[in-house]
């Protein structure tokens, strides 16, 4: 009954948020490095980028610098995203975690495929291959009982045809693990620092992003656990707050079924995913209903 009441409250919060903060996005297109909004952790993609605190993948630190990895030791994760048209994203991350802190790094490479290179009068003179890179270093630390802090430093590189640019930015996050079992509150701000080189004599701005998340959980039976999550997201290149909601269902500590929905977000809405874990290896797949169908697959290995 308590879990049902929690669910009703979450749905009510979502409904109020959608009605209060819905508006037209006038700032879309003013900011660069939009690939930073694309999901890299397959588990999070299946739950609409919510529930970082329930994922063991080191790739979660790319989404939230304070995401607390519950598996002590070292872990490697790789993932691939088949995005719109010919766009592909390749991700790898490593993280070492102990009781008080964790350290890790990750790399994102985005390949946008082949583009025709033409002169001003339309003559085909070859091809070019745009790309994006993100190298992230992460550190998180227990501050005091139940409170954690985390920091990401990100070096970005963007290349179009003959132009390229470098940027340096950072993310800062905080987590409160409440006395209630499986219940956490987190808050993080992305792109705090905005040091960017120029692309064709024009600097590229990064949008400030703020996220507030709530994760909870319930053991339905000894072998079935439900973990709902809610996230409220503000992005500087949009004018409204966007509510995301997700649900993880874990069966027998081996199988995971995921669902998610992004409200008031034109680019995406519904997502789903599955996971299979055996010993120290976990395989995950997610589908995101974007402007085009998006597929993600990833592998986690603890050693």
Tell me the per-residue pLDDT of 174-213, one tens digit each, with 9 for 90 and over: 999 999 888 999 999 999 988 887 777 777 888 899 999 9
Mean pLDDT for 218-227 is 92
Report H helices in the chain.
2-21, 42-46
Q: Are 296 and 49 in contact (CB under 8 A)?
A: no
Q: What is the pLDDT of residue 38?
A: 86
Question: Which element (helix H / strand E) includes 257?
Answer: strand 255-262
Mean pLDDT for 289-302 is 89
Domain boundaries along the sequence of the chain: 2-302
Q: In the numeric block, which tokens belong to residue 88? A: 């592909």
Q: What is the pLDDT of residue 61?
A: 94
User: Three-state DSSP class for 44?
Assistant: helix
DSSP tag of 113? -
Q: In the numeric block, which tokens belong to residue 39? A: 């999901």
Task: Please give the distance of CA 83 from its chain centroid, rounded to a whole number.
Answer: 15
Strand partners, 246: 229, 260
Rounded CA gap, 237 and 223, in Å? Answer: 43
Q: What is the pLDDT of residue 70?
A: 62
Residue 111 pLDDT class (50, 70, 90 cuts): very high
Q: Per this entry, what is the length of the chain?
A: 303
Q: What is the pLDDT of residue 27?
A: 53
* pLDDT above 90: residue 4: no
* pLDDT above 90: residue 33: no
Question: What global pTM score does this model have?
Answer: 0.83
Report pLDDT digits (tens) over 226-246: 999 999 999 988 878 999 999
* pLDDT above 80: residue 92: yes
* pLDDT above 70: residue 16: no
From the candidate CATH numbers 3.30.70.870, 2.40.160.60, 1.10.150.20, 3.40.190.10, the one assigned to the domain spanning 2-302: 2.40.160.60
Q: What percent of the chain has pLDDT over 70?
A: 88
* pLDDT above 60: residue 25: no
Q: What is the pLDDT of residue 8?
A: 40
Residue 13 pLDDT class (50, 70, 90 cuts): very low
DSSP tag of 100? S
Higher local confidence (pLDDT), 202 or 294: 294
Residue 98 pLDDT class (50, 70, 90 cuts): confident
Look at residues 177, 97, 163, 79 and name the one whose alpha carbon lies nearest to residue 128. Answer: 163
Average pLDDT score over the chain = 86
* pLDDT above 60: residue 24: no
DSSP tag of 27? S
């Amino acid at each position: 009954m308590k879990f049902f009441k929690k669910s009703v409250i979450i749905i009510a919060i979502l409904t109020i948020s959608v009605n209060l903060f819905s508006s037209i996005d006038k700032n879309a297109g003013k900011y660069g490095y939009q690939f930073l909004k694309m999901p890299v952790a397959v588990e999070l993609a299946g739950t609409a980028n919510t529930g970082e605190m329930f994922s063991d993948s080191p790739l979660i630190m790319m989404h939230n610098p304070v995401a607390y990895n519950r598996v002590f030791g070292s872990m490697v994760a790789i993932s691939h995203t088949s995005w719109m048209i010919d766009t592909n994203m390749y991700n790898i991350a490593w993280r070492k975690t102990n009781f008080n802190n964790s350290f890790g790094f990750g790399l994102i490479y985005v390949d946008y495929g082949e583009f025709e290179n033409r002169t001003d009068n339309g003559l085909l003179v070859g091809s070019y291959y745009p790309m994006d890179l993100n190298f992230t270093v992460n550190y998180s630390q227990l501050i005091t009982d139940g409170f954690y802090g985390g920091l990401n430093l990100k070096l970005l590189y963007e290349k179009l045809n003959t132009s390229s640019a470098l940027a340096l930015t950072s993310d800062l996050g905080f987590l409160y693990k409440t006395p209630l079992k499986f219940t956490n509150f987190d808050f993080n701000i992305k792109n705090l620092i905005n040091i960017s080189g120029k692309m064709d004599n024009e600097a590229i701005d990064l949008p400030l992003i703020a996220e507030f998340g709530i994760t909870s959980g319930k053991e339905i039976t000894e072998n079935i656990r439900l973990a709902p999550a809610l996230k409220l997201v503000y992005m500087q290149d949009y004018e409204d707050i966007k509510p995301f909601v997700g649900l993880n269902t874990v069966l027998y500590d081996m199988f995971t079924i995921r669902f998610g929905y992004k409200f008031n977000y034109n680019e995406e809405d519904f997502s789903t995913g599955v996971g299979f874990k055996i010993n120290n290896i976990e395989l995950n797949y997610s589908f995101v209903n974007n402007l085009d169908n998006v597929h993600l697959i990833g592998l986690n290995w603890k050693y």
